[in-house]
Amino acid sequence: MSDTAARRETGAPPSLSRVHASVEAYYNDRLARFGASPMGVDWSCEATQNLRFVQLLKLCDTTQPFSLNDLGCGYGALAVFMRDRFPDADVDYLGIDLSRSMIARARRRHRGKPNVRFVAGNAPTRIADYAVASGIMNVKLDQPMEIWETFVRTMLEDLHRTSRIGFAVNFMEVPTKGAPPDQLYCPLPDQWARYCEDILGCIVTIVNNYGLRENTLLARRPVACA
C-alpha cells in the first residue's frame, strides 16, 4: 500500500502508517506463534499481565456503570479479567486493535458476551468514560525515536480525546532481560506524565513499585471538565 493510500485508509500521516503496519505485522506473528495467550501479546505470563490490568483499572470506579475503550486490546484478555475480578460491574467494553487477526480471535472468544465489542483500527471509534492501553507503546522495533515518540504522543492525544473521565497507560522503565534494548521504548518515568499535565491538562498519578520494572500513568480530566 502506498503512503497516500495508507493515509486515506487510516487517517494517519505516512510515517505513522508505516509504524502501524510494522506493529500489526509484529503482533500477527506473535499470535501465529503463541496463540491467544499472554505471550501472543508479548507478555511473559498471565500473572504479570493481570498485575498490569490491576494498575490500569485503578482509574475506574467499578461501583458505577461505565464505558471503557481498550486500545491495543489483543485477543480481549482485559474483558475476561474484568468479568472475573468485577463480576457485578456494569461495563460497556469496546476493544480496538491494529491487528485484524487479533480482532478476529477476540470476536470468536467473546462471541455472545453482552456489552463486549471489538473493532480493528488505530484509535477508539467512540467517546467512552475511560480508556486504557496496556503495553502498546513499549515495543518500538526498529522505528527511529522521533517517529516512535510521535506515535506515543498521538496515542495519548487519541486516548484523551475519546475519554470523558480519564485514561491509563503503562511504560517500561528498563529493558526486559534478554530483549534487544534498541527495540524497546523506556522513557523517563515523568516524561509523559508532564506531557499529559502540561499539554493535555490532565491530573496525573504515577503508579509504580508494583513488582514490575515499569510505571502506569492514570490521567484524569479535572472534575469541572469531566
Q: What is the mean pLDDT of residues 146-158?
A: 96
Provide φ and ψ at 204, rounded to 5°: -115, 135
Beta bridge partners of 132: 70, 168
pLDDT tens digits for range 2-45? 333 333 344 556 679 999 998 888 888 888 888 777 776 766 77
Judged on CB neighbours under 10 Å (0-12, 13-18, 19+), 164 is middle
pLDDT of residue 9: 42
Cα 135 from Cα 73, distance rounded (Å): 10
Residue with cell 492525544: 157
pLDDT of residue 88: 94
pLDDT of residue 181: 61
Is the pLDDT reported for residue 180 higher than 70? no
CATH number, position 77: 3.40.50.150
Kind and range of the H or E run holding 218: strand 214-220
Q: Average model confidence (pLDDT) for the chain?
A: 88
Domain range for 63 is: 3-225
pLDDT tens digits for range 202-213? 999 999 999 998
pLDDT of residue 29: 85
pTM above 0.85, yes or no: yes
pLDDT tens digits for range 113-139? 999 999 999 999 999 999 999 999 998
pLDDT of residue 215: 95
Cα 169 from Cα 217, distance rounded (Å): 5
Q: How many domains does the chain have?
A: 1
Q: What is the mean pLDDT of residues 191-203?
A: 97
